[in-house]
Amino acid sequence: MQWFRFLPVAAALALGFGVSAAIAETPASLLERFNAEARSAGEGAGNPARGQEFFNQTHGNEWKCAACHGAVPTGKGEHAVTHKVIEPMAPAFNPQRFTDTAKVDKWFRRNCKDVLSRECTAREKADVLAWLISLK
């Protein structure tokens, strides 16, 4: 029996049951998601000016986003402790940025806890991403 003849059927069944391949996101689609979450929480949509301000503030803690990513994150940054190189955050300068939902969620969660000692709100994420998208 030739098993590969059943691949189209298996794929269709998998899609029908909600199992699908990972779909690449875009910075704009992630911003849309954060904006929708922020609006549903009554916070309003992301704002690039607020995003820039947020990125460059310490928020009462020792670190700020800019400490590792640079005040204008269009070039490479460096982790403040490990000195590991961090590729540019602005999508126009790093097309791979903000294309994987799991990675975006993971790094926002981790970095917000470092900078804020809590997770970022949807509006804070939308603000930062709106600013990063605006950098050309």
Residue 69: give its domain's CATH number: 1.10.760.10
The residue range of the domain holding 31 is 25-134
Residue-wise pLDDT for 55-92, tens only, equals 999 988 888 999 999 998 999 999 988 999 999 999 99
Residue-wise pLDDT for 103-115, tens only, equals 999 999 999 999 9
Give the ranges where the chain is alpha helix by DSSP (H).
Answer: 7-16, 27-40, 48-56, 65-69, 101-116, 122-134
Q: Domains in the chain: how many in total?
A: 1
**Is residue 123 in some structural domain?**
yes
Asked if residues 27 and 98 have their Cβ atoms less than 8 Å apart, the reply is yes
**Is residue 12 in some structural domain?**
no
